[in-house]
């Protein structure tokens, strides 16, 4: 028997499953061959150890419990992983927050930008509120208000040009009316030489009457610019004057 053949059958030999003749041949070879003898010893030790382990696990395995344990192990490992990831994220977020304040990174504005936005919103909302209040209360104001002192806020808005004060509005309307009056007056001057005396006299009388009313209201408004009723009457008188000139310019 050579070494190769011996090592092929050595496992069967150790299990006592080899026939007698072959077993004798193996024994003879092991006696003379140190290498195969060593292999045989190693294999015998392994087999002994396995035999011992097999003796210890005599309890029949429970597959359900086994899977439960495996599952618990897997879950605990997964949860540990998730916990670890979350912890990392929180640490990153905390680090970002410390860097940028309470806003997320994409809402990161400079102080000037934020201040401008706040100021803009404040102005717009204030103007809208004032306009809304004025519109809401304007019918009553038109009828009953006589003296309306502008509020401090209205004055400020008027100063910065964001809001037209009643006085500024009146001045603008008067200017517009006077421009129209000048235009129609020139047309009347061109026509009046062709009128008869009665018509000329009547025109002058009526124009003089309206001019007196205009002077009266202008004087009152110089003393009390907040007198809305006089402002309204002045506007009405100027309108009457314009209509008189316009209608007589057709004659």
Residues that bind another protein (CB under 8 A): 143-144, 146, 194-196, 198-199, 202-203, 205-206, 209-210, 212-213, 216-217, 229-230, 233, 236-237, 240, 243-244, 247-248, 250-251
Identify the three-state secondary structure at position 8: helix
Q: How far is the CB of 156 from another protein (least distance, A)?
A: 28
Strand partners, 147: 227
Q: Give CA–CA dist 189/163, Å, rounded.
A: 39
CB nearer another protein, residue 13 or residue 217: 217
CB nearer another protein, residue 25 or residue 239: 239
Q: How far is the CB of 190 from another protein (least distance, A)?
A: 13
Q: How far is the CB of 188 from another protein (least distance, A)?
A: 12
Sign of the alpha-carbon torsion through 186, 191, 193, 199: negative
**Residue 125, CA distances (Å) to 109, 119, 132 in order:** 22, 10, 10
Q: Give CA–CA dist 188/8, Å, rounded.
A: 140
CB nearer another protein, residue 58 or residue 143: 143
Q: Cβ atoms within 10 A of the Cβ of 25, count?
A: 17
Q: How far is the CB of 163 from another protein (least distance, A)?
A: 25
Q: Give CA–CA dist 200/156, Å, rounded.
A: 49
């Amino acid at each position: 028997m050579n070494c190769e053949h011996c090592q092929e059958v050595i496992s069967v030999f150790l299990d006592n499953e080899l026939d007698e003749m072959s077993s004798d041949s193996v024994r003879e070879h092991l006696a003379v061959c140190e290498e195969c003898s060593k292999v045989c010893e190693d294999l015998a030790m392994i087999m002994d150890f396995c035999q011992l382990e097999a003796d210890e696990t005599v309890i029949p395995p429970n597959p359900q419990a086994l899977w439960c344990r495996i599952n618990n192990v897997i879950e605990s490992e997964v949860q540990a992983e998730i916990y670890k990831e979350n912890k990392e994220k929180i640490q990153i977020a905390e680090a970002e927050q410390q860097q940028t304040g309470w806003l997320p990174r994409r809402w990161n504005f400079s102080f000037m930008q934020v201040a401008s936005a706040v100021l803009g919103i404040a102005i717009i909302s204030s103007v809208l509120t004032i306009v809304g209040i004025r519109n809401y209360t304007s019918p009553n104001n038109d009828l009953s208000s006589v003296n309306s002192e502008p509020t401090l806020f209205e004055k400020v808005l008027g100063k910065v040009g964001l809001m037209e004060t009643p006085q500024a509005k009146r001045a603008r309307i008067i200017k517009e009316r006077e421009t129209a009056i000048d235009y129609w007056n020139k047309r009347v001057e061109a026509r009046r030489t062709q009128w008869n005396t009665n018509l000329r006299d009547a025109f002058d009388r009526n124009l003089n009457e309206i001019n007196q009313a205009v002077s009266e209201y202008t004087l009152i408004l110089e003393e009390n610019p907040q007198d809305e009723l006089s402002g309204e009457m002045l506007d009405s008188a100027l309108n009457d004057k314009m209509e008189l000139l316009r209608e007589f310019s057709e004659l």
